[in-house]
Structure formats: C-alpha cells, structure tokens
Amino acid sequence: MRAGYFLIVLALLVFSACDGGDGSADAGTDGDSDTDGDSDTDSDSDSDSDSDTDSDSDSDSDGDPGCPPLDPPTGNIIDVTPSQVGDLQGIVAGASTGDTILLADGTYDLNGAYLWFDTPGVTLRSQSQNPDAVIIDGNYSTTEIVTVAASDVTIAEVTLQRAFTHPIHVTSSDLGDTANTLIYRINIIDPREQAIKINPHSTTAGFFAEDGEIACSSIILTDTGRPNVNTSASDGCYTGGVDAHQARGWLIRDNHIEGFWCPTGTAEHAVHMWRGCRDTIVERNVLINNTRGVGFGLSNSGTARLYSDDPCPEAGGAYIGHYDGVVRNNVIFADRTELFDSAAGFDCGVCLWSACGARAVHNTVASTGANFSSMEWRFAGSTSVEITNNIATHDLQERDGASATQTGNLEDALLTLFEDIGNWDLHLQSSATDAIDMGVAVEDGLCDYDMDGDPRDDQPDVGADEFTGS
C-alpha cells in the first residue's frame, strides 16, 4: 500500500465517521459553537500521516513525496506552552530569521491576538508533531490568526480554528515578494471566511506571494461552523478553502478540503486561483462536498496580474484569470443531500473560467446528486484548455464559446465503477472496464503517477486511480 493510498483511505474513514452524510445539516444552528472550543475538532485525519514516506522517491514532477512529519527543527528553538499564550503574539513578532517557535501540546486561546510573521525564515510548529494536539483557537474574535508577510515562513503541524476572517493570510509586503511559504500538515477548522487567503498587499507595488506550498493538510467547514460564516459579503457565503489572487508557482497537494457550502449563497471553491495566477499545480487533493472544487479564474473582466512575457498571446490581450497550470489526480466528490439542496448546489468540480493553457488530467469527479457540471471551461478567447483522461459522473461542459481539447475522458460514468463511495473510496473496482486502460498516453512528466503514487502504465486508466488490483 502506497503512502497516498493509505492517507486517503484513512482520511476517508475518519471523515466519514464524523460527517458521512448523516443528514444533520442543522446540527450547528444554535450558534453557540464558539463557547466551548472543541466540539468540532474531529477532523485531522491526515494528521496521522504515518510517516510511511516511502514515496517512491522519484524525482518526477508529479511523484508523490507523501506526508511524513516535518524534519526536526534546526537553529534557534523557542519553546512555548499554552500558559504563555498571552506572550505568543510578541514572541512571533520578535522572532529572528532561523528561529523555530515550538508549541507544546494544548489549546492556545488567542482571544483577539494574532500572529504576524514579517521576518523571513521563521517557523511555527508543534513540538509533538501532532496537529490535533496543538489547537490555536481564534474564538471568532481573532481576525487573521496567522499573517505571513515575509519569505521562507513555515506553518506546520498545528490546528487553527475559528478565525473571524482568515486562519492564514499570505501576502506580499511593501518590501518585496513573499516567497516559499510552506503550510504543511495542519488542520484548519471552521474559518468564518476563506481558510487560506493569498494576495498582494498593494495593488501598485508590484510584489506578490510566490512559490508557496500547501500540503498534507485538512481544511474543513463543519456543520457547527457553517452558521458562523460571513454571509454579508459577496454571494452571501464568503468562505472557501484556498483563495489566491495574482500568485504564481504554488503547489497545492495531498490536502483534504471539505464542507465549503452554505444553505444560501455561493461558497468559493475548495481551491481557487484567480486574478492572474500562474503555473499552479493542484494534485492528489480530496475535495468532498464543496459547492465548487478546483477553480482556475472566475470572471472575464476586472483586476488581474499581467506578465511581461505574455504567456497567453493567443488571447490577444483579453482578461486572463489563470495562466497554464495543471490539475491532476484529484478526487472531487459530493454526496450530501444538504449540499445538493442548497441554493448553489454542487456547482462544478473543476471550473476553468478565463483559464489560458490549463490542463486537467486524470481527475475523478463524482457525485451522487446532480451538479451543473463535473468540469467546465468558460469564456471565448481567454479560455483554452486541455481536458484529458478524467472520469466524471456528470457533464463536461463548454460555456460561452470557450475552447478545449478533450481526449480520453469518460463522461456520465456510473458510480458503480468505484470501490466504495459510501466511504468516499473512489478507487476503481476491478469490474470498471469502462475506465481501466481506457485513457490515452500523455507526455512524460505530465502525470506519471496516480493518486496513490502508483505509476501509470502504458494504457492509463481514466480518473485519479490507476487500478493495480489491490
């Protein structure tokens, strides 16, 4: 069993145990969720992480590095215990490059304090390496729990819950880009707004948040947290998973993102890269019961980052929401009646709007209820994409004259192709002859491995799983 497989199965088991379509959408409507501080928690699933590591070590771009615990800290270590929570904001502000702030197990009630990282090369992580055991609680009074405004900052192996706005905000500064942020093996629970916001500090300075990684993390909006979502901002459901503006070179891999929908209004995507993002790789994520799965771009006009090397000349100057990038080996699944019955429903699995040169390869998009589209590409002129070897239980859909090259996809697939959808196991069954060996060969390096880290064979299977008979 490979690392990725183990991780996904474990995540599926844990998450299904706590939220497996039990129909309790109204469980949290009493609004008291912020009084106790723990109820939600559950989650974490991937925390275990099992160290398996193995990970096949290949150096290919899409090889699976797994989710092992972070390497031991080096350099200066600042030990902090929950009793020091009142000093934590100052400890972060005063940290020097190379420092690691090592949090002992327990709950850190910030109660309005915030952690602002404006010195490069500072790390915040748990001593135990157990993300479930270190809870940084914003109690819906802290706005942004963590702000990253300097390069080479790492946030790892902790839980961030109940931010009034964003649990993590990565932003450039007036001094320059914020590069190489690493967000690794964390839990984010019940953000009131988008869980991880990434954007420029200034619209005029020309500095951006670049080359970050979000990996092996769990980002969940629970039924308890959903009634607390900011409904006064755009679309009446101002929340989502990862929301990046004008960011280049981000890797978003091996995360579990779940529950981003509202009864009314439209939640932002589980992973949304737009306003001129570029070269994003989104791979091996499991996205469960969200209004929208992966989005590259959104509108066809507005403020967007431009690039001097003109990476999409074929658009002739049209507004571009996202340049290039790859969406591969993701599992996007919906099975909650409450989501289907919500105002926005399950809207789209992979949503490419004003996306120039995006490639969606070997994803599995499945749903037990109707959606608007499993995958869609929208807006003429600005959107030209490749849709290859995906499996979808519903439609792959062109909108508004967008252009796509479609090869090797299986559309309107039956749910019976999958191993155990009740437990969110979207591996192929041995009987899935509509899918096994039915894809087309793709170029080396584009998708050499599947969601488990299994190598693709000469006759690739459609979807995220290469069936190996296990």
DSSP state letters, 216-274: S-EEE--TTTGGGS--SSGGG----SEEEES-BS-EEES-EEE----SSS-PPPSEEEE
Residues in 112-171 at the binding interface with Ca ion, rule: CB under 5 A: none
Interface with Ca ion, residue 461, by CB under 5 A: yes
Whole-angstrom Cα distance, residue 270 to residue 254?
A: 13
Whole-angstrom Cα distance, residue 344 to residue 102?
A: 42
CB of 410 to Ca ion, least distance (A): 13
* Burial state string for 302-324 with b = 16 or more CB within 10 A and e = fewer than 16: eebbeeeeeebeebeebbbbbbb
Q: Which is nearer to Ca ion, 344 or 436 (CB)?
A: 436
| Span interacting with Ca ion, options 18-26, 80-88, 113-121, 455-463, rule CB under 5 A | 455-463
Alpha helices per DSSP H over 65-183: 85-94
**Sole binder of Ca ion in the list 52, 193, 268, 452 (CB under 5 A):** 452
CB of 50 to Ca ion, least distance (A): 17
**Sole binder of Ca ion in the list 234, 301, 405, 459 (CB under 5 A):** 459
CB of 107 to Ca ion, least distance (A): 38
Whole-angstrom Cα distance, residue 208 to residue 246?
A: 7
Q: Which is nearer to Ca ion, 283 or 450 (CB)?
A: 450
Interface with Ca ion, residue 42, by CB under 5 A: no
**Sole binder of Ca ion in the list 170, 454, 463, 464 (CB under 5 A):** 454
| Span interacting with Ca ion, options 182-190, 264-272, 378-386, 445-453, rule CB under 5 A | 445-453
* DSSP run (H or E) holding 12: helix 3-19
CB of 17 to Ca ion, least distance (A): 23
CB of 93 to Ca ion, least distance (A): 46
List 258's β-bridge partners, or say none. Answer: 220, 288
CB of 436 to Ca ion, least distance (A): 6
CB of 412 to Ca ion, least distance (A): 21
CB of 5 to Ca ion, least distance (A): 6
Count of other CB atoms within 10 angstroms of residue 194: 27
CB of 417 to Ca ion, least distance (A): 14
Interface with Ca ion, residue 450, by CB under 5 A: yes
Q: Which is nearer to Ca ion, 244 or 464 (CB)?
A: 464
**What are the structure tokens assigned to 52, written together?**
């398996």
Binding mask 403-442 for Ca ion (x = CB under 5 A): ----------------------------------x-----
> How big is the site for Ca ion, counted in residues (CB under 5 A)?
9
Count of other CB atoms within 10 angstroms of residue 127: 18
Whole-angstrom Cα distance, residue 457 to residue 73?
A: 39
| Span interacting with Ca ion, options 74-82, 374-382, 396-404, 450-458, rule CB under 5 A | 450-458
| 436 CB-near residues (< 8 Å, 6+ apart) | 428, 430, 461, 467
Residues in 206-225 at the binding interface with Ca ion, rule: CB under 5 A: none
| Span interacting with Ca ion, options 56-64, 189-197, 323-331, 446-454, rule CB under 5 A | 446-454
Radius of gyration of the chain (CA): 21
CB 396 within 8 A of CB 373: yes
Q: Which is nearer to Ca ion, 153 or 446 (CB)?
A: 446
Whole-angstrom Cα distance, residue 329 to residue 58?
A: 17
Residues that bind Ca ion (CB under 5 A): 437, 450, 452, 454, 457, 459, 461, 465-466
